[in-house]
Structure 1
Amino acid sequence: MTEVNFNTKTARQKGKHLSKEERETINALLNQGYSYRKIANYIGVSPQTVVNEVNRGTVRQKKKMNGKTSYFEVYDPTYAHERYKQKRLLCHRPIKFQTVRSFLTEFIEAFKRFKFSPDAFVGEAKRNQSFFKDERVCTTTLYKYIDQNLLEVKNIDLVRKTSIKKRKKASKAPNKRLYGESIENRPDTVESREEFGHFEIDTVIGKKAGSESVLLTLTERKTRYEIIKVIDGKDTDSVTYSINQIINEYGENIFQSITADNGSEFANLATVLNGRMKVYYTHPYASSERGTNENHNGIIRRFLAKGESIDPARMSPNK
């Protein structure tokens, strides 16, 4: 180690725990014969902190010399840091797992029987108030239990968990024209889900054939309410006709805006709905900008695989 300047005390955040590097520094300075006080001044902690650290991190070792075994004590920074990490694990808040067993049992049953995702089950429990707050866990904790292999449900059993990748920020594709107003102009109240009436729209294809029906899906951003309608095909006329039917059925007053992608089936949407509600278009190749609708379409795929017919007359009886 290079010559150490002990004249100035190192600035250090108060209450911060010693790092692995700082423990290695303590060891190096001890081996050079520096006092606890000088080491403490160099690192930026109190002398008592160094004393406590050395006491906790000292191990007993042995060596043989001339056929004789002798024992000695020495500070081991690696042992000290591993011991610290184990102690940190023990001081965390006790796991809630044991107190929510009924909730977890019902989740496993719902997953097996009805293919409930963790998020859907937590949402249903909150909405129906079937468990008190201290009797259930949030979605993140439920996934954590699955990650830790605490449940019968494993990551491999989940439809989307093993395939979800972190999405990159959508890049603009200037070579593809938007059919209408960009999502960049969508108000903050839509982004924050403060208001009811802002929908995301898409189509779900079953069997790829010219005369096959498709699903038209609309998802309300605030409540996640889903409208699903079987339509004649994935073409502009079928979408236009069906969206007008849906608006007439539900009432035009509940629709404030619709966000679509740049699929050709939505090319006339802005024109058809002009003056009735706002229509926004996502950036090309940025399905994550309709994330709520995409997630719901993924749930549909659990029951309707790609290549299966959506036509009612051709669908299997259990659909």
Structure 2
Amino acid sequence: MSHETIYFAPPYSSWADKQAGGDLYTHLRRQGKKYDKRRNGKSTRRQIKKRVSIDERPSVVDDKSRIGDWEIDTVISKGHSGALVTIAERVMKYTVSAQVDSKSATDVTTATIALLKPFKDLVHTIKADNGKEFAYHEKISKALSADVYFAHPYSSWERGLNENTNGLLRQYFPKNTDFKKVTQIEVERAVKRLNSRPRKYIGFKTPDQLMEEHRAALAA
């Protein structure tokens, strides 16, 4: 039966009435229009200008054969009151994070540059999702001399490291956390614990250990 059928009345559809010149369809919530949340699978979200897809990212990033490719995301609190900017390095799993009062592109861009500036020599690429908070990606790219790439829309499996990192941070900041009331010191304390935790994927070393070893090798 059609979603547009008028119930408790003779089986006469609004579509047939419209074809006959009637106006029953004007009384429907969608007025005879088919509903498609994503318009044939395409996002209705305004696309970020000059975004570059991860399809154009160097293959060395997927190979994980070098250090310096990062993934960025935001963690929001209930009611969208403030957020955390989280950035993790793909090979070492080394994480940095900052509290921001909003998910605005300005706040997120400022935090991103501040977080990665100390590691500028170790930043080759950054992968982001398509959230509008990353609209100023060109400013980030210029400040860090790094390339920013965007994951495909609605493809969370392409951001597994982000999902895992955010899940670990949620151990310290549950979903009902108001990030406007969280201090940067508290964030850094939680991140320090993550970076001091041995990881199976990296031979049960800690991200801190790998970062120290890599920087020592660069300085040698």
**1:260 Cα deviation (Å)?**
0.2
**1:208 Cα deviation (Å)?**
1.7
What is residue 58 of structure 2 aligned with on the other side?
Answer: 187
Q: Which amino acid aligns with 1:217?
A: T
What is residue 202 of structure 1 aligned with on the other side?
Answer: 73
Q: Which amino acid aligns with 1:253?
A: D
Superposed, 1:251-270 pairs within 5 Å as: 251-270=119-138
Determine if contact 2:48/2:132 at 8 Å carries over to the other structure: no
Q: Partner of 2:182: helix, strand, or coil?
A: coil
Q: For each residue in 1:104-150, what CA deviation from the matched residue of structure 2 results, as whole angstroms up to 9, or x when unmatched?
A: xxxxxxxxxxxxxxxxxxxxxxxxxxxxxxxxxxxxxxxxxxxxxxx
What is residue 303 of structure 1 aligned with on the other side?
Answer: 172
1:286 is the counterpart of 2:155:
yes
What is residue 9 of structure 2 aligned with on the other side?
Answer: none
What is residue 35 of structure 2 aligned with on the other side?
Answer: none
Q: Which amino acid aligns with 1:267?
A: A
Determine if contact 2:70/2:123 at 8 Å carries over to the other structure: yes
CA distance, structure 2, for counterparts of residue 174 and residue 312 of structure 1: 33
Q: Partner of 2:85: helix, strand, or coil?
A: strand
Determine if contact 1:201/1:258 at 8 Å carries over to the other structure: yes
**1:223 Cα deviation (Å)?**
0.8
Q: Which amino acid aligns with 1:181?
A: V
The percentage of counterpart residues that share the same residue type is 33
**1:259 Cα deviation (Å)?**
0.3
Determine if contact 1:182/1:282 at 8 Å carries over to the other structure: yes
CA distance, structure 1, for counterparts of residue 140 and residue 162 of structure 2: 21
Determine if contact 1:178/1:283 at 8 Å carries over to the other structure: no
Q: Kindly tell me: are residues 183 and 203 of structure 1, through their superposed partners in 2, closer, same or farther at Cα, counting changes over 3 Å?
A: same
Q: Partner of 1:216: helix, strand, or coil?
A: strand
Q: Which 5+ residue runs of structure 1 have no aligned equivalent?
A: 1-171
1:312 is the counterpart of 2:193:
no
Q: Which amino acid aligns with 2:123?
A: F
Superposed, 1:69-84 pairs within 5 Å as: none
RMSD: 2.5
Once superposed, which parts of structure 1, at least 4 consecutive aligned residues long, lie more than 4 Å away?
none
**1:228 Cα deviation (Å)?**
1.5
TM value normalised by structure 1: 0.41
**1:175 Cα deviation (Å)?**
5.5
2:83 to 201, 214, 239: 214
TM value normalised by structure 2: 0.58
Determine if contact 1:173/1:283 at 8 Å carries over to the other structure: no
Q: Partner of 1:181: helix, strand, or coil?
A: coil
Q: Partner of 1:273: helix, strand, or coil?
A: helix
Determine if contact 2:73/2:128 at 8 Å carries over to the other structure: yes
Q: Kindly tell me: are residues 224 and 173 of structure 1, through their superposed partners in 2, closer, same or farther at Cα, counting changes over 3 Å?
A: farther
CA distance, structure 2, for counterparts of residue 312 and residue 178 of structure 1: 30
1:273 is the counterpart of 2:163:
no
CA distance, structure 2, for counterparts of residue 202 and residue 252 of structure 1: 18
Q: Kindly tell me: are residues 256 and 223 of structure 1, through their superposed partners in 2, closer, same or farther at Cα, counting changes over 3 Å?
A: same
What is residue 46 of structure 1 aligned with on the other side?
Answer: none
CA distance, structure 2, for counterparts of residue 251 and residue 299 of structure 1: 22
Q: Kindly tell me: are residues 218 and 196 of structure 1, through their superposed partners in 2, closer, same or farther at Cα, counting changes over 3 Å?
A: same
Q: Which amino acid aligns with 2:53?
A: S
Equivalent pairs, count: 142
1:230 is the counterpart of 2:99:
yes
Q: Kindly tell me: are residues 270 and 308 of structure 1, through their superposed partners in 2, closer, same or farther at Cα, counting changes over 3 Å?
A: same
